[in-house]
Amino acid sequence: MRKTVTKLADGRELIYYDSRGDVIRDAADPRPLHPVLTTTEIRHDPILGDDVAIASHRQTRTFLPPAEACPLCPSSPGRPTEIPAPDYEVAVFENRFPSLTGEAGRCEVVCFTSDHHTSFAALGEDRAALVLAAWTDRTAGLAALPAVRQVFCFENRGEEIGVTLGHPHGQIYAYPFVTPRTERMLASAAAHAARTGGRNLFDDTVAAERDDGRRTVLATEHWTAFVPYAAHWPYEVHLYPRRRVPDLLALDDAARTEFPQVYLELLRRFDRIFGRGAPPTPYVSAWHQAPFHDPRRSEFALHLELFTIRRAPGKLKFLAGSESGMNVFINDVPPEAAAERLREVAGP
């Protein structure tokens, strides 16, 4: 892999990731951009204990432009974009409309491909491996920033999810705190260890799902994918490496090699859930990594959570009163039925 670091016209960082070592990336950003001015503020909710980012500047961010005006496509004569090169494989840059900035963290955009009209599921295994390498490299880079406590790599796919750009891309958030969801996981892990004489919650959960089998979607030599027993979403899959590690940096070569095949198969199955020819399935794909500079790191387990808000053809799962008001999820699809359907739609 070749990594090329450069700057956009307003000083934001841009990084190209190429599979070949002889690629030269020297295209300059010709746009007359001024430095990005942001107003992010982290406020603490004393009742719930959560931290909330107030980022009013995001109200003016680009919203669903037509393909010919996409800012994530490569630049072409007379149409400069966020990526000055005429083509690219994987590119990462600082978000122009970040939710987190400076001491409040950092936000980056990850472009999986220069092809506006494709999806992650349609990529080849080599490109998926390059994206994994980019996620890993950015996790290391962002973790080195003094203010950062946790790095979150994720993809939102589909207008139903709320994406504002149709180009295949994801994001990386570097938080200056440990997120509430991770805190809950760590608290559950500590309680489980206390009850069981030091056993690890994540190890026991994955082992139980592999032994039970009813909710297992894929079980390979190095990865396990299953629908959780208490799934929150209509179709939800959790993907764990067989060897527990705290973050992407700690994955061994065998798990890295096998990941593209497993992940692409899961994404393709998601697009088949509602029948061939159905609109692409909207989803969120989220890497959960251990917080940095935290004594509980070794007890956490890296995993990816993939879920869709579509519960049936033409029907979405909305977070209404119980979910939004009380954080009590009500799932219309039994996890065992969801797992069975995901096994039924295995490739090709």
Is 70 annotated in a binding site? The answer is yes
Catalytic residue list contains 222: no
Instruction: Please return the burial class of 274, using the count of CB atoms within 10 Å of its CB with bins 0-12, 13-18 and 19+.
Output: buried
Q: Which one from 57, 169, 288, 303 is the annotated catalytic residue? A: 169
Residue found by looking up tokens 């790095």 in the block: 151
Is 167 annotated in a binding site? The answer is yes
Omega prior to 348 cis, within 30 of 0? yes
Is 117 annotated in a binding site? The answer is no
Q: Say if residues 57 and 173 touch (Cβ distance below 8 Å).
A: no
Binding-site residue numbers are 70, 73, 116, 167
Q: Where in the sequence numbering do the catalytic residues fall?
A: 169
